[in-house]
């Protein structure tokens, strides 16, 4: 089943409701643009590639929902929704890209019906391509793993973070399909626990031998020699040099990725980033990337139970920045690249 898709009967966006995992596997139908935006904000749908699809389907949803006298005024209304959808989460470049792709396609429509059709067609194409690219990433990345490797991963860059198959976990799935006995150590990934709630769920579903560790145990586990490779996804990759992050560029990914890259480096464990080329942002500088700060309640409470004094000030960044110097391999749908990277093929 796809993580996110178009429900043609109800003319709305259907998604796996990831807030309910692992207790309940259920789907949610976003029938309006505000419902879609809320779904992005509360992480019903999440993960950079899945957000790209959510953005494109969101534009299609807007096109189907809005009524207008002609295609010009319909497009104006869609543009208004599109900018709100793109702003729902700031860090993953894919959301904005998905919105833009569907909007650009819709602009060619000369009637309301054609505008709607083009927006939807663009979203469906983006979703299909996501699956194809993840399979290619998986196959290239699998070549980096040994026969009995243990992979550590952070957050969830699996099928549920994409339309299907996944990027980091796609590498694991492809390696196993190729006959390798890969097992996985999943970091819990505080504070929203995508590792324990989502990664372990999808790995167990696919019979991948899996162990869950609290984030704080990852250093010990590496020190004990249990990890052969660290494989993570990415929300935005910038290949521009920056004073703050080093000459070779930077990978924005789930908070905690940076410290795992440092640890992997310290223990000579290959640090692998698996991401589609659509995650590479050639037009922004690292300083322009907004790292999402999430609500303090995610730390003040754990599943509704108080976890800290209500008044304690909180910092809750959802992503961090890993200098490319710490990345051993970048796996895209075009192959495996070893930093330092030549920027031109990615522009």
Question: Does 47 engage in binding with ligand MRU (CB under 6 A)?
Answer: yes
The stretch near ligand MRU (CB under 6 A) out of 46-54, 208-216, 261-269, 282-290 is 46-54
What's the DSSP call for residue 335?
A: E
Question: Does 233 engage in binding with ligand MRU (CB under 6 A)?
Answer: yes
> What is the C-alpha separation between 249 and 339, in angstroms, rounded?
9
The stretch near ligand MRU (CB under 6 A) out of 4-12, 122-130, 232-240, 241-249 is 232-240
Which of residues 218, 253, 278, 322 is near ligand MRU by CB under 6 A? 253
Q: Report phi then psi at 166, rounded to 5.
A: 95, 170
- Catalytic, out of 149, 235, 281, 328: 235
Between 71 and 153, CB nearer to ligand MRU: 153
Question: Does 48 engage in binding with ligand MRU (CB under 6 A)?
Answer: yes
Between 72 and 317, CB nearer to ligand MRU: 317
Burial class (CB in 10 A: 0-12, 13-18, 19+), 186: buried
Question: Does 55 engage in binding with ligand MRU (CB under 6 A)?
Answer: no
Question: Does 98 engage in binding with ligand MRU (CB under 6 A)?
Answer: no
Annotated catalytic, 268?
no
Between 70 and 284, CB nearer to ligand MRU: 284
Which of residues 5, 71, 150, 162 is near ligand MRU by CB under 6 A? 162
- State which of positions 125-144 bind ligand MRU (CB under 6 A): none
Other CB atoms closer than 10 Å to residue 108's CB: what's the count?
Answer: 11
- Establish how many alpha carbons lie within 13 A of residue 80's alpha carbon, considering only the half-sphere containing its beta carbon: 9
Which of residues 235, 240, 281, 320 is near ligand MRU by CB under 6 A? 235
Burial class (CB in 10 A: 0-12, 13-18, 19+), 305: exposed
Name the pairing type of β-strands 150-153 and 183-187: parallel
Question: Does 157 engage in binding with ligand MRU (CB under 6 A)?
Answer: yes
Question: Does 202 engage in binding with ligand MRU (CB under 6 A)?
Answer: no
Question: Does 167 engage in binding with ligand MRU (CB under 6 A)?
Answer: yes
> What is the C-alpha separation between 287 and 259, in angstroms, rounded?
20
Question: Does 339 engage in binding with ligand MRU (CB under 6 A)?
Answer: no
Question: Does 155 engage in binding with ligand MRU (CB under 6 A)?
Answer: yes
Other CB atoms closer than 10 Å to residue 82's CB: what's the count?
Answer: 24
Handedness of CA 108, 114, 118, 119 (dihedral sign): positive
- DSSP calls for 11-45: TEEEEE-GGGTTT---EEEE-SHHHHHHHHHTTSS
Which of residues 194, 199, 278, 332 is near ligand MRU by CB under 6 A? 194
Between 194 and 200, CB nearer to ligand MRU: 194
Q: Measured between alpha carbons, how far apart are the two ends of the chain, in Å? A: 33
Between 49 and 109, CB nearer to ligand MRU: 49
Beta strands in 10-166 (DSSP E): 12-16, 27-30, 150-153
Between 161 and 186, CB nearer to ligand MRU: 161
Between 182 and 274, CB nearer to ligand MRU: 274
Least distance between ligand MRU and beta carbon 91 (Å):
8
Question: Does 234 engage in binding with ligand MRU (CB under 6 A)?
Answer: yes
> What is the C-alpha separation between 320 and 117, in angstroms, rounded?
38
Q: Are 179 and 149 in contact (CB under 8 A)?
A: no
- The catalytic residues are 235
Residue ranges in contact with ligand MRU by CB under 6 A: 43, 46-49, 92, 155, 157, 161-162, 167, 194, 232-235, 253-254, 318
């Amino acid at each position: 089943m796809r993580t996110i898709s178009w429900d043609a009967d109800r003319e709305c966006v259907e998604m796996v409701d990831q807030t309910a995992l692992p207790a309940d596997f259920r789907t949610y139908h976003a029938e309006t643009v505000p419902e879609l935006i809320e779904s992005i904000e509360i992480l019903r749908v999440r993960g950079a590639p899945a957000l790209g699809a959510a953005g494109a389907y969101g534009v299609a949803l807007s096109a189907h929902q809005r009524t207008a006298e002609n295609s010009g005024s319909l497009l104006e209304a869609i543009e208004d929704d599109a900018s709100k959808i793109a702003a729902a989460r700031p860090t993953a470049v894919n959301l904005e890209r998905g919105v833009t792709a569907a909007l650009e396609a819709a602009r060619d429509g000369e009637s309301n019906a054609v505008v709607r059709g083009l927006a939807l067609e663009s979203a469906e194409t983006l979703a299909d391509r996501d699956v194809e690219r993840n399979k290619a990433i998986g196959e290239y990345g699998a070549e980096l793993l040994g026969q009995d490797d243990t992979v550590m991963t952070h957050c969830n860059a699996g099928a549920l973070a994409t339309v299907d198959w996944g990027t980091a976990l796609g590498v694991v799935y492809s390696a196993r399909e190729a006959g390798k006995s890969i097992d996985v150590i999943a970091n819990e990934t505080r504070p929203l626990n995508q590792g324990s709630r989502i990664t372990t769920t999808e790995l167990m579903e696919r019979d991948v031998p899996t162990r869950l560790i609290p984030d704080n145990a990852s250093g010990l586990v590496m020190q004990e020699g249990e990890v052969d490779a660290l494989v993570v996804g990415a929300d935005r990759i910038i290949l521009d040099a920056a004073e703050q992050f080093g000459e070779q560029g930077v990978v924005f990914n789930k908070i905690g990725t940076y410290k795992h890259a440092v640890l992997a480096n310290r223990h000579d464990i290959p640090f692998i980033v698996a991401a589609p080329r659509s995650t590479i942002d050639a037009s922004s500088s690292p300083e322009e990337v907004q790292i999402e700060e999430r609500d303090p309640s995610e730390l003040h409470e754990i599943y509704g139970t108080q976890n800290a004094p209500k008044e304690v000030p909180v910092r809750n960044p959802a992503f961090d920045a890993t200098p490319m110097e710490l990345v051993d391999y970048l796996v895209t749908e075009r192959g495996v690249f070893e930093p330092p990277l030549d920027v031109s093929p990615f522009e």
